[in-house]
Amino acid sequence: MSELLNTFAAQRGEIMQSLGEHLLLSMEALLLACLIAVPLGMMLAHTKRAGEVVFQITSIVQTIPSLALLALLIPFVGIGTAPALIALTAYGVMPIYQNTYSALRNLDPNLEEAADAFGLSRWRKLTRLELPLAWPMILSGISISLVMIIGTATLAAMIGAGGLGTYIMLGIQQNNNSYLLIGAGLSALLTLAMSALLKFMSSSKKHFGYVAVFLTVLALAAGVWQGGQLFVSKDETVVIAGKLGSEPDILINMYKDLIEKDNPEVKVTLKNNFGGTSFLFNALKTRKIDIYPEFTGTVLQGLAKKPAATPHDPAKAYQLAKKLLAKEDQLTYLKPMKYQNGYGLAVKQAFAEKYHLRKLSDLREHNAILTAAFDPDFASQQDGYLGLKKAYGLAFKIKTMEPALRYKAIASGKVNLVDGYTTDPEIKQYGLTFLTDDRKFFPPYQGAPLMREDFSKKHPGVVKSLNKLAGKITEADMQEMNYQVSVKHQSASKVARAYLLKHGLL
């Protein structure tokens, strides 16, 4: 609970921004859905066939899983807010249309005929009879749609549209319950609040008027604000994105500070926790973003199309990655930072001292007393434990468990060896130490800014600024910064700025 409050306090600004994005996206989608569905329902209610056909189509749209709908839209409209808005609108249309259509179709035929017999125009019949009678049911359609849209909007984070889903994604990724609670809880609260507002609106004409005026003013303000953003961004905007987690967040904040200091004409927009590797890589190639930090090991193992043996020498690995990226995808890969963020095996410091453990080859003599907790992926991969076992002649007991649990297991003494990434904040948190990979078994993972070739040619100033980080930041530095952000809940921008100032880069 206190952890949740700490997280909330430290990241209030970001959380509020996500909440705002979520609300804006949901309301835009709901408004669009209403504007489409209500008139459509009214138009088709008195037809024989067309209304039923549309009724069926909307039902079918409803059966497509929302995530699939989002994914299907990416090839057509790209990533970000646009596909999210389209998908949410398509989703929200169904209950509103179906309720409007059914309500109008099921009106008392005697009343309809009376209206005709009095010579009422189509419009007057609609406004004085049909809509008022159908209104409660249309409203219930809108409120179903509202609940669905706010819930489904959490998935928008997966395609870079931001919102509360960002925290749910982060929470799953990092096994962080605070994030999960913030994301899911706020989205539920938002649903409740908006449903209550809708109920209040529908309770009387006067209330409806108040809320409608209030929302219109709000929408106009948001529009002016967004328009203003658009205006400001006419300067020169560079979009930098990062993968999920604290480390990419810290790095892109450093990029922003460095670039904006040297290039006052450039405005940097950050998209933190933007998505997974292939998502960012595609976003970069399709010009949705301009720069993101990527690891040499990831390029060679995952992104390069031509399979190549990964060199164990970090410098060679970088050169190869750079060459392949330039050749296959016309991308420029700037010089990497110093630290490695690859696999490693860690033990408690006290344990290391007791058994004089410094490097991986020291483990061999202690096979009998070792029990390891490994991430299931690491335990089952050739470039993980299976290969490592052969390279170092290891044979000890292992247990596989979720990444976050293995650190708790070693902290509580249930195991005495774990795998991990070399910059994980838990290393500092639980007083662990990594053993040196003296036979250079693990592929090197060094981070460096990745961008399109045309971008790097057009922005030599940006390239120059980013190169200031080359060879900087040690593993201990990065561990410390990750610790500050993900354990101590400092803001990534503050931590990034402090590092740059301390090392005279700003």
Partner 1 sequence: MIEYRNVGMAYEDKVILDGINLTIADGELFVLVGPSGSGKTTLLRMINRLTEPTAGDVYIDGRRVKDQDLRHLRLNMGYVPQTSSLFPNLTVGDNVTIQLEEAGVKRRERRERASFLLDQVGLKGDEYLDRRPSELSGGQQQRVAIARALAAQPKLILMDESFSALDPVLRRQQQELLLALHQQNQDTVVFVTHDMQEALRLGDRIGVIKDGCLLQVGSPEEIIQHPANFFVADFFKSARPRLGTMAQLLASAAVSRIQAGSLPAVAKVDELVRLPDEAGLIKFAYQGAGYQITATDLLRYLGELED
Nearer to partner 1, 137 or 411 (CB): 137
Binding range to partner 1, per CB under 8 A, among 76-84, 115-123, 189-197, 442-450: 115-123
Per the DSSP assignment, residues forming a β-bridge with 186 are: none
Residue 326 interacts with partner 1 (CB under 8 A): yes or no: no
Footprint on residues 163-202 left by partner 1 (CB under 8 A): none
Cβ burial, residue 460 (10 Å; 0-12/13-18/19+): exposed
Nearer to partner 1, 46 or 124 (CB): 124
Residue 146 C-beta: closest distance to partner 1, Å: 24
Residue 237 interacts with partner 1 (CB under 8 A): yes or no: no
- Two tokens at 180? 């999960």
Residue 120 C-beta: closest distance to partner 1, Å: 5
Residue 114 C-beta: closest distance to partner 1, Å: 4
In 3D, which of 295, 256, 258 has the Cα closest to residue 272?
Answer: 256
Stretch (H or E) spanning 58: helix 50-63
- Two tokens at 83? 């596909």
- Two tokens at 13? 């600004």
- Two tokens at 78? 């790209």
Residue 210 C-beta: closest distance to partner 1, Å: 21
How many residues line the site for partner 1 (CB under 8 A)? 16
Residue 170 and residue 181 in contact, taking contact as beta carbons nearer than 8 Å: no
Residue 46 interacts with partner 1 (CB under 8 A): yes or no: no
> Residue 188 and residue 169: Cα distance in Å, rounded?
16
What mask, x for binding partner 1 by CB under 8 A, covers residues 70 to 109?
A: ----------------------------------------
Residue 39 C-beta: closest distance to partner 1, Å: 20
> Residue 300 and residue 157: Cα distance in Å, rounded?
27
Nearer to partner 1, 129 or 470 (CB): 129
Residue 53 interacts with partner 1 (CB under 8 A): yes or no: no
Residue 431 interacts with partner 1 (CB under 8 A): yes or no: no
> Residue 259 and residue 130: Cα distance in Å, rounded?
60
Nearer to partner 1, 13 or 136 (CB): 136
Residue 205 interacts with partner 1 (CB under 8 A): yes or no: no
Residue 449 and residue 293 in contact, taking contact as beta carbons nearer than 8 Å: yes
Footprint on residues 116-145 left by partner 1 (CB under 8 A): 116-121, 124, 128-129, 132-133
Per the DSSP assignment, residues forming a β-bridge with 331 are: 452
DSSP strand pairing (291-295 vs 447-452): antiparallel
Residue 368 interacts with partner 1 (CB under 8 A): yes or no: no
Nearer to partner 1, 120 or 266 (CB): 120
Nearer to partner 1, 84 or 138 (CB): 138
* Long-range residue pairs from 166-172, CB within 8 A, at least 24 positions apart, any chain: 166/18, 166/273, 167/15, 167/18, 169/244, 169/273, 170/244, 170/245, 170/273
Nearer to partner 1, 114 or 196 (CB): 114
Nearer to partner 1, 76 or 118 (CB): 118
Q: Which of 110, 206, 307, 382 binds partner 1 (CB under 8 A)?
A: 110
In 3D, which of 162, 136, 164, 139 has the Cα closest to residue 150?
Answer: 164
Residue 123 and residue 96 in contact, taking contact as beta carbons nearer than 8 Å: no
Binding site for partner 1 (CB under 8 A): 110-111, 113-121, 124, 128-129, 132-133
